[in-house]
Amino acid sequence: MLDIDSLILFLKSHDSYSCTGVPAIFLLTACHPPSHDAVEEEHGNLTAFVNPLIGTGDATTPSAKKFGGGNSSHAQVIPGVGFPFGMTQWTPQTRISEAHCLAPYYYADTKIQGFRGTHWMSGSCTQDYGSMAIMPLSGKIIPDAGQRASSFSHEREIAKANYYQVFLDDYKINAEVTAENHSSVLRFTWMTDSAKYILINPNSDEGQGFVEVDTARNEIRCYNPVHRIYQGLGEPAGFNGWFVIKFPEKITDFGVWKGDSI
């Protein structure tokens, strides 16, 4: 178990990798809504009517221009992939902080830092907590989120309620995300022969994160301790964001990064 800023995986020379992220389940309910298949059979594919990018840009209404300003001019919506009422969604990350009133993704941003397993309340001005990000790289290792961020274009971005895809221009990597009830699947396809890496980054503003690498099971277990932002600012909140990440291919090597040291 290590206290780190980021985990770096060294991958075999395969062109495509999938990893399954399983977030911790903090809440169970005895309510059993109709199954996804039953709803689709009755009403058709309802995800076709959802545009997750609505609300990710600046507000332009007269009232927003009059009373808004700073983060108040944003609707704070993210293009999260996940099932309705899920405890965790996956979103492209253009801002690393879990700070109050700072969403993980803004449409006007031009670079993606990774893909975040998030508890952000879309449309709110609260904080994210217990989140982590996964970022594929090629060529060389760049742990810092701002420096490693890749350019992308909205023309090569697809955002749906059940699927997200974007091409990372700087690394020649196609990234795809989808979700199940309590898990998600991410697929990265490298369009280059350069060295391939995956970085796993706990998004802790307190600089804390923990990881355990199980090479026998090809599995990574990590968590991000949650801290308070209101009463008891900066103090531990008493729970963590837990994640288990499984890879179909063998992890050939790994390392960690903390501060300026790899």
The CATH number assigned to the domain holding 98 equals 2.70.98
Count of domains for the chain: 1
The beta strands (E) that lie in 44-169 are given as: 89-93, 111-112, 114-118, 132-138, 150-151, 157-159, 163-168
Q: Rounded CA gap, 259 and 73, in Å? A: 33
Residue 149 lies in a domain: yes
Output the pLDDT for position 188.
93
Q: Of 198, 211, 206, 205, nearest to 242 (Cα)?
A: 211
Return the pLDDT at 9. Answer: 47
Written as one letter, the residue type at 91 is: T
pLDDT tens digits, residue range 196-242? 899 988 887 777 878 888 989 989 988 888 888 778 888 888 888 88
61 CA to centre of own chain: 30
In a domain, residue 131? The reply is: yes
Residues of the chain with pLDDT under 50: 1-7, 9-14, 22-34
Asked whether residue 262 is assigned to any structural domain, the reply reads: no
What is the reported pTM?
A: 0.82
pLDDT, residue 253, reads 85
Helix (H) or strand (E) run with residue 42 in it:
helix 36-43
Q: What is the pLDDT of residue 106?
A: 94
Residue ranges making up the domain that contains 22: 2-257
Is 43 among the domain residues? yes
What's the pLDDT at 15?
A: 53
Please state, in angstroms and rounded to a whole number, the distance separating the CA atoms of residues 214 and 207: 23
State the pLDDT at residue 38. Answer: 56
Look at residue 175 in the predicted model and tell me its pLDDT.
96
Residue (of 114, 115, 113, 95) closest to 104 by Cα position:
95
